[in-house]
């Protein structure tokens, strides 16, 4: 039976947050910016696929709506809780942690307030594509371990999660060189 993780946050700017989900924070030189802990900011989709999440669905209100909310449901593989705060590089800078969702002219039922939160079909379609790409890459690496001996499965997954010491940009560059697969900002034009 799958374990479903449900998260909801208020982004500081919805459009910037969606871009962050897809692309992380590029440094403009083929790599990623770092967060205050020195971790590479690879974005939500990379972090989720680095966790091995097999399925995810995304929901958000549009920028300018009275309520600003981003939510996701994730089929998690871990047997323990993995909070996004503190674990996802760059995440805290992208969201409001004060609990403020927005302002309305009158007091309303929660269902009315959340009516602007819709399924993000673009992200819902994109996640399986990036997950499939990773699955194919891992399969190729398993079948031909001699091609990239310095980058194994665990190091690649840690790089996707932007973990400190994982040399994310170096790993992505090696994958590009050896397998001709770009893991960096490949989907910027998708949305």
Q: Kindly list the averaged pLDDT for each block of 10 residues, start to end, along the chain of length 191.
A: 89 96 91 93 95 96 91 93 92 88 76 87 94 91 83 91 89 86 57 41
Separation between Cα atoms, residue 159 and residue 170, nearest integer Å? 9
pLDDT digits (tens, 9 = 90+) for 44-75: 999 999 999 999 999 999 998 888 999 999 99
Separation between Cα atoms, residue 62 and residue 58, nearest integer Å? 13
Separation between Cα atoms, residue 144 and residue 163, nearest integer Å? 25
Give the sheet arrangement for strand 3-11, strand by strand. Answer: 95-96, 3-11, 70-76, 55-60, 118-119
Separation between Cα atoms, residue 62 and residue 116, nearest integer Å? 7
> Which pLDDT belongs to residue 84?
92
Instruction: Write the DSSP string, 97-116.
Output: -S---B--SS---HHHHGGG
Which among 36, 39, 8 has a CA at the least distance from the CA of 159?
39
> Which pLDDT belongs to residue 184?
61
Say whether 184 sits in a helix, a strand or coil.
coil
> Which pLDDT belongs to residue 190?
43
pTM, two decimals, is 0.89
> Which pLDDT belongs to residue 62?
93
- Both tokens of residue 128? 């399986």
Write the CB contacts of 85 (distance below 8 Å, at least 6 apart in sequence): 91, 92, 97
> Which pLDDT belongs to residue 183?
74
């Amino acid at each position: 039976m799958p374990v479903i993780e449900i998260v909801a946050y208020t982004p500081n700017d919805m459009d910037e947050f969606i871009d962050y989900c897809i692309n992380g924070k590029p440094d403009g030189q083929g790599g990623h910016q770092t967060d205050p802990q020195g971790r590479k900011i690879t974005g939500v989709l990379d972090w989720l696929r680095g966790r091995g999440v097999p399925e995810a669905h995304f929901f958000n209100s549009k920028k300018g709506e009275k309520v600003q909310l981003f939510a996701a449901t994730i089929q998690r593989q871990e047997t323990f809780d993995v909070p996004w705060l503190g674990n996802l590089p760059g995440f805290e800078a992208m969201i409001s942690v004060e609990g403020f969702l927005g302002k309305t002219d009158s007091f309303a039922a929660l269902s009315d307030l959340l009516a602007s939160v819709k399924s993000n079909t673009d992200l819902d379609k994109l996640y399986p594509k990036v997950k499939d790409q990773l699955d194919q890459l891992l399969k190729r690496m398993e079948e031909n371990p001699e091609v990239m001996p310095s980058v194994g499965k665990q190091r690649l997954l840690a790089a996707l999660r932007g973990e400190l010491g994982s040399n994310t940009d170096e790993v992505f560059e090696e994958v590009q060189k050896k397998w001709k697969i770009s893991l960096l900002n490949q989907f910027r034009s998708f949305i």
